[in-house]
Amino acid sequence: MANELKTRETTKIILVHFTGDASVTFGQVRQEASQRGMSETGVHFVIERDGKLLMGRHQSKVGSHYPEYDDLSVGILVAAVRDDMNEVQSIALTLLLEKLQADYPSIESIKYVYRTE
Distance CA 25, CA 15 (A): 19
Distance CA 114, CA 29 (A): 16
Q: Is residue 36 pLDDT above 50, yes or no? A: yes
SS3 113: strand
Please tell me the predicted confidence (pLDDT) of residue 117: 47
User: Is the sign of the CA dihedral 85, 91, 89, 5 positive or negative?
Assistant: positive
Average pLDDT over the chain, rounded to an integer: 92
Please tell me the predicted confidence (pLDDT) of residue 4: 57
Q: Where are the beta strands (DSSP E) in the chain?
A: 13-18, 45-47, 53-55, 73-78, 109-114
Residue 114's pLDDT band (boundaries 50, 70, 90)? Answer: confident
In this structure, the number of other CB atoms found within 10 A of the CB of residue 25 comes to 16
pLDDT tens for residues 73-104? 999 999 999 889 999 999 999 999 999 999 99
pLDDT tens for residues 42-59? 999 999 999 999 999 999
The CATH code of the domain at 2-114 is 3.40.80.10
Instruction: Spell out the domain ranges in the chain.
Output: 2-114
Interval 51-69 mean pLDDT:
95
